[in-house]
Structure 1
Amino acid sequence: MKLLYSLFVSLLAASVSARKHRLCCCAGFNACNQFVCDDYSTQSIVNAGGGRYVRSTKSWDKDQGAPIGGLMNWMYAETRDHGDDTLLGGDEISDLCNKFRMSSRCFNPRARYWNEGLTIKGRTVETPAKLPPPVVGGG
């Protein structure tokens, strides 16, 4: 059953892998037999990338559009000094993850994380400064 599921997931991923995404990870089964982002292979790609990839320190889950678990194991493209378009190619990440015998999973955060003031910057998601509360009673 595990083999059939892996085959199905791989075929599904291959059909959308050429698209570009904001966040990607290498994925596989953990010790509890859950399909999650793998920290070791994802970090190994970040380390070998010469600064091209950065590991996100934000916890991405289904509410933000992440396709699978592994909350802290996502990476994104760094643009400074690399002339990149800030997007990760699905085929590119898939090839890198295959070296670790892993598949890849990628996604773009849901629209509200781009349109409501929350944006990816540096290694975390930063929120805009809050306005001070209004003064009640005049003065």
Structure 2
Amino acid sequence: MLLALLGAEMSALYREFPLRNASIWPMVVAFIKANAQAFADKGEFLRVIITSDEKKRSLEQNRFLHGPVLDAITNQAWWEGRQYPKEFWKEYFRRRYLLKDEYETPAGEIIQVYWSTADKKFSVGMMAEFLTNIQSEAAAEWGVVFE
């Protein structure tokens, strides 16, 4: 089961919690408490969505990846004195976290095949984990702040 909290504007707030055990619930409650009043003060609301982890990744997740996440990384990350475009970061993280299979040709060459986030078997849970990995690495390695 997966819980996603959405603000009235997708770019304003998006967080997913894979509900693998009861220890996650205090984090869910803390996150709601930390954000609900601020949204209420702006006349907006939070939406809680509960879904099975095996559904195809959502359009909201995809928009979140291609909007706030990759935009923040593209605008803030400097890697050895250089910034890279959004297309670079998407491919970089796909290769880091979405290896699907490896094949060896008769000549001994290794061909790696990666998941596409558009694949119908790419689930909500897989996308949530991908987003968490991206944000964690970008924050730790390049000091990216996600707002």
TM-score, scaled relative to structure 2:
0.29
Higher relative helix content = 2
Q: Which fold has the larger relative contact order, with Cα–Cα distance below 8 Å and residues 6 or more apart in sequence?
A: 1
Higher relative strand content = 1
